Amino acid sequence: MPIAKISPSMLSSDFASLSAEANRMVKNGADWLHMDVMDGHFVPNITIGAPVIQSLRKHTDAFLGKLPFDGIKSRTDDFAKAGASMYCFHIEATNEPEALIEKIKKAGMKVGVAVKPKTPIDTVYSLVDKIDMCLVKELREKFPELDIEVDGGLALDTIDQAVQAGANVIVAGTSVFKAENPKDVISTFREKVNTVQKS
């Protein structure tokens, strides 16, 4: 199983102090920073876009993982130029996943695929050798070396279930940003992943 990667979700940060919040997470042990990019197409929400990421990139060397929900409609080149390290798209948002994977790689980013809970997991099996990460729980046994991310509601009282299911990339927002001691939370998440790896 790949090593633990703890990725605080910047969606839970104080947007008025984005660079300070990013560096606070890195200083507290974060491996990656998770940027939820929602543009009102795949989901109704609107969050941040490439200009914000470009501004943030000037203030941190952290691995910036992106989750643009809009699939092939999103401008992958814009995110690459802004400094995104990874572009993670929902498999449900495109009819041409292989073409999108190739486009992301040509733009110089790593590729991640996200899968909704009701989507059959075998939908991504044919793509696994072309991607760097998958955001879903059910793949660990079949693909032991793949980075598998879990995002949504992860906290100290829910981390065990995600780790036991095979996740090694942990995206957590409120539980890290609002913690009295973010370093302890990040450290605990990492320890949980590493304990399962050794067992």
146: tokens are 């793949």
- Please tell me which residue, 43 or 93, carries the higher pLDDT value: 93
From the candidates 122, 132, 151, 184, which is the catalytic residue? 151
Average pLDDT estimate for 109-121: 92
Active site residue 61: no
The side-by-side arrangement of strands in the sheet containing 5-8 is 5-8, 169-172, 147-151, 133-135, 110-114, 86-90, 63-68, 32-37
Look at residue 69 and tell me whether its pLDDT is greater than 50. no
Residue in 36, 77, 147, 157 annotated catalytic = 36
Active site residue 184: no
Q: What is the pLDDT of residue 66?
A: 65
User: What pTM was computed for the model?
Assistant: 0.85
Write the single-letter amino acid at 75. Answer: R
pLDDT tens per residue, range 119-169 = 999 999 999 999 999 987 778 889 999 999 999 889 999 999 999 999 999
Higher-confidence position of 172 and 1? 172
Nearest-5° angle of CA 177, CA 116, CA 103? 90
Contact call for residues 169 and 152 (beta carbons, < 8 A): no
What are the chain's domains? 5-198 (3.20.20.70)
